[in-house]
Structure 1
Amino acid sequence: MKLESQVVPQQIHDPYLYTEKKVQVCLEKYLEEDYYFSHEILYFNGGEGEGSPWSNRENAVKDVMEYWEMEKEKITELHKSRNKHVHMYVKRGLCLFYMLLFWSNSAPVVLSDWQHNIATLSLKPINAEERLSFIRQNSKLYHSFVQLRELFQEQHKQFSKHLAISKLKKDKK
């Protein structure tokens, strides 16, 4: 496992998610909380994009959805017990959703000016920008978790539909 310290590039900088200027990156653990966006950080700092999750989106989407299922269970339990730290887990879920959203569109995650960047994506849930804004502003509310859960479902459906149509078109050729 290779850990290295990297400057958070401008494309990934989001004060809601990052307070540090430097973070540890680890490509082997890119879906774990301390290493979110490792591929993007290396890529935007001049590293290679080869082998990145957005270039192998089928596997990346599958992996993100598996991690989300674990996070979703944790958030459900935290809401049931009225845990005051639930917002931290919702933030983790948001990070996973950003990965799902951008990677399923074959793009690296770009968090700076995220609303504009999401607006340019072709595969996305309806009103994604507004719904994500609501979640970011109200991460302690149960309804924010419900919205996040629905966003994951909708994006996964959009991606699956897109893959199925692409494969049908390919088979017809």
Structure 2
Amino acid sequence: MNVLPRNLEIPDSFRFAPFFVNQKRIEKCSVSKPHTFQTPFLYDMLYHHNVLLSFPWPWEQEENYFHIYWKKNRDALCSCFHQRKYEQARAPMIRSIAALIDQLFWTNGCPVQSLDEVDLYENISTLSAVPLNCKERLNYLLHQPSRYLSFVQLDELEREFTKKRAAYLQKRKRV
């Protein structure tokens, strides 16, 4: 039986900028479809809270949740940037960056372990289906989420990742 915690404590390993710097818990925790990314890294934190929860973990599925999310939200974000509403774009950009990070790990069948930059970049370097210069590009996104160039970079990362992911999954099926 799945009993979700009413208030989910955010692990120290997830309290890093720009995600959960001043937040210690998620109030009224509820699971939504993985492709909505309403709460960044929710499934990863739930897994760290209780690995015995038994529902389909996103990393056990073959769906590209980030691609679905990006297709749904890309145009609204683009509009924010074109209207120079940079602060309005910040929160959706941060959710989008989190969605990309999640999908990088989920594609490789594992949850995100830590958002500490050193750990995160080290773990990303071990993953398959990662776009070229992903660590450097992700570093820019994490430090400049409100910039139009970050939006452009994230859009390009999504395209590259979707192609690499498809090739990786195809190769994995043949083996």
**TM superposition score normalised by structure 1:** 0.84
Please say if 1:127 is aligned against 2:129.
no
Higher relative contact order (CA 8 A, sep 6+): 2
Among all aligned residue pairs of Structure 1 and Structure 2, give the percentage whose two residues are the same amino acid. 26
- Which residue of 14, 17, 26 corresponds with 2:16? 14
Structure 1 segments of 4+ aligned residues over 4 angstroms from their partners: none
Structure 1, residues 19-48: CA drift from partner, whole Å, max 9, x if none?
211114322244445422222111111233
Matched letter for residue 53 of structure 1: P
Please say if 1:143 is aligned against 2:145.
no
Unpaired runs of 5+ residues, structure 2, are none
Please say if 1:155 is aligned against 2:158.
no
User: Against the structure 1 CA distance between its residues 28 and 140, is the aligned structure 2 distance closer, same or farther, given a 3 Å change threshold?
Assistant: closer
Please state how far the C-alpha of 1:167 moved relative to its aligned partner.
2.9
Contact persistence 1:7–1:21 (CA under 8 A): yes
User: Against the structure 1 CA distance between its residues 101 and 36, is the aligned structure 2 distance closer, same or farther, given a 3 Å change threshold?
Assistant: same
Structure 1, residues 35-75: CA drift from partner, whole Å, max 9, x if none?
2222211111123365210111x12x1x3311111221111
What secondary structure sits across from 1:20 in the alignment? coil
2-structure distance, mates of 1:49, 1:14: 25
1-structure distance, mates of 2:122, 2:149: 24
User: Against the structure 1 CA distance between its residues 143 and 84, is the aligned structure 2 distance closer, same or farther, given a 3 Å change threshold?
Assistant: closer
Matched letter for residue 58 of structure 2: P
Match of 1:46 in 2: 50
Please state how far the C-alpha of 1:78 moved relative to its aligned partner.
0.4
Structure 1, residues 100-158: CA drift from partner, whole Å, max 9, x if none?
11111111023232112211212211111110111122222211111111111111111
CA RMSD between the two structures: 2.0
Q: Say how many residue pairs are matched.
A: 165
User: Against the structure 1 CA distance between its residues 134 and 101, is the aligned structure 2 distance closer, same or farther, given a 3 Å change threshold?
Assistant: same
Contact persistence 1:29–1:35 (CA under 8 A): no
What secondary structure sits across from 1:106 in the alignment? coil
Contact persistence 1:11–1:44 (CA under 8 A): no
Please say if 1:93 is aligned against 2:99.
no
Matched letter for residue 141 of structure 1: R
Matched letter for residue 5 of structure 1: N
Match of 1:55 in 2: 60
